[in-house]
Amino acid sequence: MPAHPEVLWAQRSSETDEAKNIIYFTVNLPDIKEDTLEYSLTPTHISFKAKAGNAAKGIDEKDYAFDFDLYDEVVPEQSSKRLNSRDFALILRKKEKKLEYWPRLTKDKIKTPFLKTDFSKWVDEDEQDGDVKIDEDFDMGGMGAMPGMGGMGGMPGMPGMGGMGGMPGMGGMPGMGGMGGDIDFEKARFLHYDE
């Protein structure tokens, strides 16, 4: 029996601009074998079936599949797809132009643990007209290095931070005399909640 791949999704809605009336749909499955990929999109249904894995990376080849009815209609002819080594990504064009988001991706209100919100593309309904740039041309390149993120070493000027003992010369807070570490347990009063 095939396994379900992780599917990530997010959406935009517009009453006037059909380019902003879309579903971002990503089958998050690396190393999909292109010759085994079977994908079908109708106005009300989506299905996917493929083998994925890479023996050179020590990833066994497995069968993956899903199919379900969509919450509302899409326009397959105006939808786009892209396959790369990391995933199979789609942009589905919603048929009906309206401002409200779909409440869910599937027609049936059932739990589908493999369907998850794509928070990297998600925008709240009331903020969707802002300047949110999502790479819709599917050109991610090799992602490259992320400037300013190299090293992940310690904080500058704080090498090793070893010891972490007390701080000499810091006698405590003013006005808090007698707060040293010497507690006289004979004189200390303890509260018991059963009294």
Ordered domains of the chain (ranges, CATH): 7-114 (2.60.40.790)
Distance CA 66, CA 82 (A): 18
Least confident segment among 8-12, 119-123, 135-139: 135-139
Backbone angles phi, psi at 70, to 5 degrees: -80, 155
Distance CA 23, CA 93 (A): 6
Single-letter residue type at 29: L
How sure is the predictor about 33, in pLDDT bands with cuts at 50, 70 and 90?
very high
Q: What is the pTM of this model?
A: 0.65
Examine the pLDDT at 132 and tell me if it is beyond 70: no
Examine the pLDDT at 131 and tell me if it is beyond 80: no
Task: Tokens 């959406």: give the residue.
Answer: 11
Distances (CA, A) of 55 to 29, 58, 87, 88: 15, 5, 17, 20
Distance CA 12, CA 25 (A): 12
Distance CA 137, CA 173 (A): 59
Please tell me the predicted confidence (pLDDT) of residue 73. 98
Tell me which of 92 and 134 has the higher pLDDT: 92
Mean pLDDT for 157-173 is 49
Helix (H) or strand (E) holding 40: strand 38-41
Examine the pLDDT at 54 and tell me if it is beyond 80: yes
Q: Are 106 and 45 in contact (CB under 8 A)?
A: no
**Which residues make Cβ contacts (< 8 Å) with residue 145, sequence separation at least 6?**
none
Distance CA 49, CA 19 (A): 28
Please tell me the predicted confidence (pLDDT) of residue 193. 47
Distances (CA, A) of 79 to 4, 120, 123, 150: 23, 20, 20, 38
Q: Are 63 and 2 in contact (CB under 8 A)?
A: yes
| pLDDT, tens digit (0-9, with 9 covering 90-100), for 168-179 | 555 555 555 555
Examine the pLDDT at 129 and tell me if it is beyond 80: no
Q: Are 24 and 45 in contact (CB under 8 A)?
A: no
Distance CA 45, CA 41 (A): 6
How sure is the predictor about 182, in pLDDT bands with cuts at 50, 70 and 90?
low
Interstrand relation of 115-117 and 6-11 (parallel, antiparallel or unpaired) = parallel
Tell me which of 192 and 12 has the higher pLDDT: 12
In 3D space, the residue among 128, 130, 26 whose CA is nearest the CA of residue 81 turns out to be 26
